[in-house]
Amino acid sequence: MKKKTSPENSQFLVYQAEDGQIKIDVRLEEETVWLTQQQMADLFQSSKQNISHHIQNVYEEGELLPEATVKKYLTVRREGQRDVKRLLDHYNLDMIISVGYRVKSHVATRFRIWATQTLREFIVKGFVLDDERLKNPDQPFDYFDELIRRIQDIRTSERRFYQKITDIYATSIDYDPTLSISLDFFKTVQNKMHWAITGKTAAEIIHERADCDKPNMGLTNWRSVKVRKQDVVIAKNYLNQDELLALNNLV
């Protein structure tokens, strides 16, 4: 494996446990955290031998792959009166999390409590947000703009858009969801949105862009891995990236 020295853009951050006792140096590269076995031992208040044992089990069980989770970095450490260079394995965030689920210690237990609460929120709500981090960005990587784009895309999904339109329409005193006029109202609003972006109605977009001779029937996006019958009758699925962005901003 090719030797690597610490990248110039690496940033050393401080991780501090709830009780304020643990401080470790970490490196950020490729939007992840890299720790040595000793740093993980300090983090989870365990021994280096125990951490090494858990890492080996992770690899043997096929939970993670070495080539995707470990890199060698040339580190310099002061020992006595001289600087000693050593090539040490550093493990990324995936391995740190996996080891955190295996180590038995007070700190590791706190980590698992946090991880379980976070995972539970994701399963129940379908999302997890770190509100304070988003309000006060102080990290090298900021994903706020990506979050906005994803929310915009979700808002313009066929089902979500229909739900919002019907919620507004339902405030009418004569609203009846069983009447065909209710569905016609949704189609009218939807067509106005498509017309504002492409100059065509939903039906016209599908008629002009659906093509059995093109890959994926000419679709540019769809819900599942494979194209399904219901995907080809949704006009939004034929819009290009610029049109999708314009539609998301409009909605």
Chain position carrying tokens 């089990």: 57
Residues in the chain: 251
Give the pLDDT confidence score for residue 6 in this predicted structure: 46
- Provide the token pair at 182: 């209710």
The residue ranking higher by pLDDT, 56 or 150, is 56
Tokens describing residue 178: 């069983």
Give long-range contacts, CB 8 A cutoff, 24+ apart: 195-202: 196/250, 197/239, 197/243, 197/246, 197/247, 197/250, 198/239, 198/243, 201/235, 202/235
58 compared with 227, residue with greater pLDDT? 58
- The yes-or-no verdict on residue 212 having pLDDT over 70 is yes
Task: Choose between 164 and 125: higher pLDDT.
Answer: 125
At 24, the pLDDT band (50, 70, 90 cuts) reads very low
Residue 30's pLDDT band, with cuts at 50, 70 and 90, is: low
Q: Phi/psi class of residue 31: alpha, beta or left (left: φ > 0; alpha: ψ in -120 to 50)?
A: left
pLDDT of residue 117: 83
Q: How far apart are CA 249 and CA 155, in angstroms?
A: 10
Residues 130 and 137: their CA atoms lie apart, in Å, by 11
Q: Is the pLDDT of residue 77 over 90?
A: no
Q: What is the mean pLDDT of residues 221-239?
A: 88
Mean pLDDT of the chain: 81
Task: Tell me how far apart the alpha carbons of residues 188 and 104 are, in angstroms, rounded to a whole number.
Answer: 60
Looking at the chain, the whole-number percentage of residues with pLDDT higher than 70 is 84
Confidence at residue 139, expressed as pLDDT on a 0 to 100 scale: 64
Q: Are the beta carbons of 15 and 22 closer than 8 angstroms?
A: yes
* Max intra-chain CA distance, the chain: 86
The reported pLDDT for the residue numbered 19 is 56
Q: Report pLDDT for 209.
A: 93
How far apart are the C-alpha atoms of 108 and 40, rounded to whole Å? 11
- What is the sign, positive or negative, of the torsion defined by CA atoms of 22, 27, 32, 38? negative
The encoded tokens of residue 145 equal 């703009």
Instruction: Look up residue 21 and give its two tokens.
Output: 């006792």
- Please give the pLDDT value at position 239: 92
Span 67-90, mean pLDDT? 85
Residue in 108, 41, 138, 25 with CA at minimum distance from that of residue 73: 25
Nearest residue to 220 via CA among 208, 212, 209:
209
By C-alpha distance, which of 1, 10, 22, 20 is closest to 100?
22
Least confident span in 43-57, 158-172, 235-249: 158-172
